């Protein structure tokens, strides 16, 4: 394989890392958004105010796109430095899936958190803690991928 083709394969891995993570963020914000809208509908139907804090749950899955971008930039640099294209492609796809799954899971949890907060009006910090634990998976994936790349 020519050096140019190898670098291009590495760049495909870079874009895969960001793209798959971003797809998970999109699905996660979609799921959390559905939960928030349902919670607001429930509260407004009861004549109660719709808390702005529910946006916290909706926006939480977006950070995985940023993690994917950080990894993408790193992988592009490694591709230009002649690292193994297969390793870069593999790390990009695997990390993207891990970060994307974390974002999607975070969105699903966020939807339940929005519903629970609307139902009880309590527990916001507990809900954030659960969302943070799900976020930790994506952080681990990013850090371990960066370590694997050297």
Six-digit token string for 28: 């996660």
Please write the tens of the pLDDT for every residue from 54-78: 999 999 999 999 999 999 999 999 9
In this prediction, the residues of the chain whose per-residue pLDDT falls under 70 are none
Interaxial angle between packed helices 124-149 and 63-80, expressed in degrees from 0 to 180 and rounded to the nearest 10: 10
What CA–CA distances, in Å, run from 5 to 1, 72, 135? 6, 18, 35
Residue located via tokens 């009006």: 121
Six-digit token string for 123: 């527990």
d(CA 62, CA 6): 31
Question: How high is the pLDDT of residue 74?
Answer: 97
């Amino acid at each position: 394989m020519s050096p140019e083709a190898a670098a291009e394969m590495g760049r495909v891995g870079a874009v895969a890392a960001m793209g798959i993570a971003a797809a998970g963020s999109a699905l996660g914000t979609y799921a959390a958004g559905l939960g928030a809208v349902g919670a607001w509908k429930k509260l407004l139907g009861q004549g109660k105010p719709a808390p702005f804090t529910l946006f916290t749950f909706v926006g939480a899955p977006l950070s995985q796109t940023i993690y994917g971008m950080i990894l993408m930039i790193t992988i592009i640099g490694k591709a230009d430095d002649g690292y193994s294209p297969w390793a870069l492609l593999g790390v990009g796809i695997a990390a993207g899936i891990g970060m994307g799954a974390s974002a999607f899971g975070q969105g699903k949890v966020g939807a339940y958190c929005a519903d629970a907060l609307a139902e009880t009006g309590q527990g916001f910090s507990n809900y954030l803690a659960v969302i943070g634990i799900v976020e930790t998976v994506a952080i681990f994936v990013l850090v371990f991928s960066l370590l694997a790349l050297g």
